[in-house]
């Protein structure tokens, strides 16, 4: 799975979790700029990503996520992409 596929899958997950069919973001999007993003949705996203990608996040790495690119990098690293 390459980084553009990861981004596409993350967007699909986010649209579902945030219940926003029109949601758009790019690798440079800051999570603070996504209006619907809150701590509960963050947890729901993490659970869905772990299930979808077959990975496990560690708490230290989750704390370093500020923008979408950070998340793509972590998923790519854990998936060996």
| CATH code (residue 10) | 1.10.1200.10
- Tell me, yes or no, if the pTM score tops 0.85: yes
Contacts of 4 (CB under 8 A, 6+ apart): none
**How buried is residue 75: exposed, middle or buried, by Cβ count under 10 Å (0-12/13-18/19+)?**
buried
Domain residue limits at 37: 3-79
What is the model's pLDDT at position 20? Answer: 94
Domain count, the chain: 1
| Blockwise average pLDDT, block size 10, the chain, 81 residues | 95 96 95 89 92 93 90 92 65
């Amino acid at each position: 799975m390459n980084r553009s596929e990861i981004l596409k899958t993350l967007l699909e997950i986010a649209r579902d979790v945030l219940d926003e069919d029109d949601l758009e973001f790019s690798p440079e999007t800051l999570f603070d700029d996504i209006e619907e993003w809150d701590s509960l949705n963050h947890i729901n996203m993490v659970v869905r990503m772990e299930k979808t990608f077959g990975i496990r996040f560690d708490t230290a790495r989750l704390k370093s996520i500020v923008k979408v690119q950070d998340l793509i990098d972590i998923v790519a690293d854990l998936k060996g992409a």
